[in-house]
Amino acid sequence: MDVLVAHHGYCFDGAASAAIFSRFLRETQPALAEARFHFRGLLYEPNAPPPGDKLMVGAINAILDYRYTQSPYLDWYFDHHVSAFQEPGSELHFQSDRTGRKFHDGTYGSCTRFIIDVVRERWGWTAPDLEDLVSWSDVIDAARFRDADEASSFDPPAMKLAAVVQEQGDDSMLAWMIPKLSTTSLAELAAHPDVVRRLEPIKARHEALSLRMEQAGEQRGSVAWFDLSEAPLDTVAKFVGYKLFPTAMYSIVLSRTPKRVKVSVGFNPWSRHPRRHDIAKLCERYGGGGHPVVGAISLPPGELAKGKAIMEEFLQALNT
Ligand SMILES: [Mn+2]
């Protein structure tokens, strides 16, 4: 038997969700104890095919930490994105599901925590040795860091692994890492030579990007904004903006890679002022999505001018 676990790609929470869910299936479904598990990352890209197209006919299919699909091949579903229901009619389809294997809760900070809570309540399955993985997924996915320095640190093992997953987490790397995440401690895995080797260049790129953001960044009203579109981006630094502009309530980053133009928007998790905008809703207006506190819009690579226009509209919207 084959099991396909389609998870949010290049995302620590997505990988951790896949690790926990696959171990849960092995340990609670006797027919799947010896099953072959396949892991497939799903990305929020412009013109991304509907997630149903990525499922495997004849396999047990799961989607974790990613959009819902009405595909008849979907067997298991867990997600915490408030923008999970994008296909017309998909929310109704989800609500009328009677399999008892499809779950969504937009109040959770991480899909990993959501899965572990649901399977404990419904199936009585626990994995105390994975508590570290669960708590770190929660911290990382919901940005529950003490401050912007901790959020940009590469010191904790989970932060090393998260950086490697976010930058190098293609399907072949995660086929190696996901099974290890479900059985090995974070410290042991982060010290693995393959992880150490991948992390070094990431750290160097991160430092270079921090410098670029320092030079490009400006604050208008309560928004720090960074137009990094003059050269392609080769890494991400989600929290450096708040290190540079600690009084900003929000940040906007315009960036591009060969594959897409991206407008990323976030609420400063350490802001002293309460959030006044639902970022997922704002992004949905432009075909993007995310969470109330962080979201993004991806555009085809030729649409930089549109990206700049959206950034300008966000600057105004977030300042009112
Ligand atoms: Mn997530």
* CATH number of the CATH domain containing 243: 3.10.310
Cα 295 to averaged position of ligand 1 atoms, centre (Å): 12
How far does the centroid of ligand 1 lie from the alpha carbon of residue 63, in Å? 12
CB atoms inside a 10 Å sphere around CB 319? 13
In a domain, 201, yes or no: no
246 and 160 in a single domain? The answer is no
Residues 44 and 149 in one domain: yes
| Nearest residue to 250 via CA among 284, 219, 280, 291 | 219
Q: Whole-angstrom Cα distance, residue 115 to residue 66?
A: 13
Q: Is residue 149 part of a domain?
A: yes
Residue 41 and residue 175 in one domain: yes
Structural domain includes residue 196: no
What CATH number did the domain enclosing 83 receive? 3.90.1640
CB 73: neighbour CB atoms within 10 A? 16
278 class by beta-carbon count within 10 Å (0-12 exposed, 13-18 middle, 19+ buried): middle
Alpha carbon of 137 to ligand 1 centroid (Å): 8
pLDDT for the residue numbered 290: 87
Ligand 1 center to 274 CA (angstroms): 23
209 inside domain: no
Show the low-confidence residues of the chain (pLDDT under 70).
46
Tokens 């105004």 belong to which residue? 316
Closest C-alpha among 110, 13, 17 to residue 63: 17
CA of 64 to the centre of ligand 1 (A): 9
pLDDT at position 45: 76
Q: Which two tokens stand for residue 66?
A: 């990613």
Separation of CA 78 and ligand 1 centre (Å): 10
Instruction: Round to whole Å and give the CA distance between 272 and 134.
Output: 27
Residues 100 and 153 grouped into a single domain: yes
Compute the distance from residue 285 Cα to the ligand 1 centre, in Å.
21
SS3 74: strand
Residue 141 in contact with residue 109, Cβ under 8 Å? yes
Could you tell me if 145 and 275 lie in one domain? no
197 in any annotated domain: no
Q: What is the DSSP letter of 72?
A: T
- Give residue 61's identity as a one-letter amino acid code: N
Domain holding 150, by residue range, is 2-191
Ligand 1 center from residue 302 Cα (angstroms): 28
Query: Quick one: pLDDT at residue 237?
Result: 84
Strands 261-267 and 223-227: unpaired
Q: Rounded to the nearest whole angstrom, what is the distance from the C-alpha of residue 12 to the centroid of ligand 1? A: 8
Cα 175 to ligand 1 centre (Å): 19
Q: Is residue 35 part of a domain?
A: yes
Secondary structure of residue 103 in the 3-state scheme: strand
Asked whether residue 173 falls in the same domain as residue 255, the answer is: no
Q: Give yes or no: residues 156 and 305 share one domain.
A: no
Q: Are residues 128 and 43 in the same domain?
A: yes
Cα of 196 to ligand 1 centre, how many Å?
24
Residue 28: inside a domain: yes
84 and 179 inside one domain? yes
Show the tokens assigned to 46. Answer: 């412009």
Residues 158 and 256 both lie in one domain: no
For the chain, how far is it from start to end, CA to CA, in angstroms? 55
User: How many angstroms separate the CA atoms of 22 and 118, rounded?
Assistant: 14
Residue 49: predicted pLDDT: 83
Tokens linked to 60: 């047990």
Distance from Cα 140 to the centre of ligand 1, integer Å? 9
**Whether residue 10 is found in the same domain as residue 83:** yes
Q: Which of 122, 109, 98, 137 is nearest to 18 (CA)?
A: 137
Look-up: residue for tokens 């320095």? Answer: 149
Count of the separate structural domains present in the chain: 2
Are 179 and 19 in contact by the 8 Å Cβ rule? The answer is yes
Domain presence at residue 6: yes
Query: How far is it, in rounded angstroms, from Cα 4 to Cα 272?
Result: 43
Q: Are residues 137 and 237 in the same domain?
A: no
Distance 160 CA to ligand 1 centre (A): 18
Task: Please answer whether residues 56 and 38 qualify as being in contact, where contact means their C-beta atoms are separated by less than 8 angstroms.
Answer: yes
Contact (Cβ atoms closer than 8 angstroms) between residue 42 and residue 196 = no
The answer to whether 104 touches 94, Cβ cutoff 8 Å, is yes
Kindly tell me the sign of the dihedral angle through the C-alpha atoms of 66, 67, 71, 72.
Answer: positive
Taking the C-alpha atoms of residue 22 and residue 4, their distance in angstroms, rounded to an integer, is 9
